[in-house]
Amino acid sequence: MARTAILGDGGNARVLQTICPDSVLLGEGEEPLDTDDLIVGVGVGLRTAYPMDRVRIFNSYPRERFISVAALESHVEEDCQIGLGVAFMAGSIVQTGTMIGDNVLVNTGAQIDHGCVITDHCVIGPGAIICGEVKLGRGCIIGAGAIIVQGVKLTDGTRIKAGTLVVGQHDLRVAQHVQVTS
């Protein structure tokens, strides 16, 4: 019988386990999964290499083994396109017409408005607000409570600090860029 597993043993992994209580936590270096096991998500802790860790761990397993999960208290509109290995934490809201890639974490209370494109390996921090028609490149990290207003496009690997208000491309001087390799 297939079981579900959460890759990682940090705080995000423990929160994922509240959404899927029968899942097992597999920390770094623990025994690999059986071939029929499903993977709930990548719940690694926030470290300097965080985006690369998420990518490396996700890519070390076949994509089709990942499933997406949502806390009962989250809301994702039915017409949204959701990739594999996506986690929606409690209170997160995703509005109509949004596309979310693989291995994305939408953290507690985060809001993503209409028509956004969130590409692979992004992390949306607790309470972050992403207004309509925003595009996040691969591996972006949006800090807790950050606000990105309508129409902004962030390049791959952009990190927006907690509490930052991004109202246009000129505001990206507050951002930090990291190389995200597939």
Q: What's the pLDDT tens digit per position in 79-126?
A: 999 999 999 999 999 999 999 999 999 999 999 999 999 999 999 999
Instruction: Give me the CATH code for the 69-168 domain, please.
Output: 2.160.10.10
Domain ranges of the chain: 4-65, 69-168
Task: For residue range 141-175, list pLDDT tens digits in order.
Answer: 999 999 999 999 998 888 899 999 998 764 554 55
CA pair distance 50, 57, nearest whole angstrom: 11
Percent of the chain, pLDDT > 90? Answer: 50
**pTM score, two decimals?**
0.88
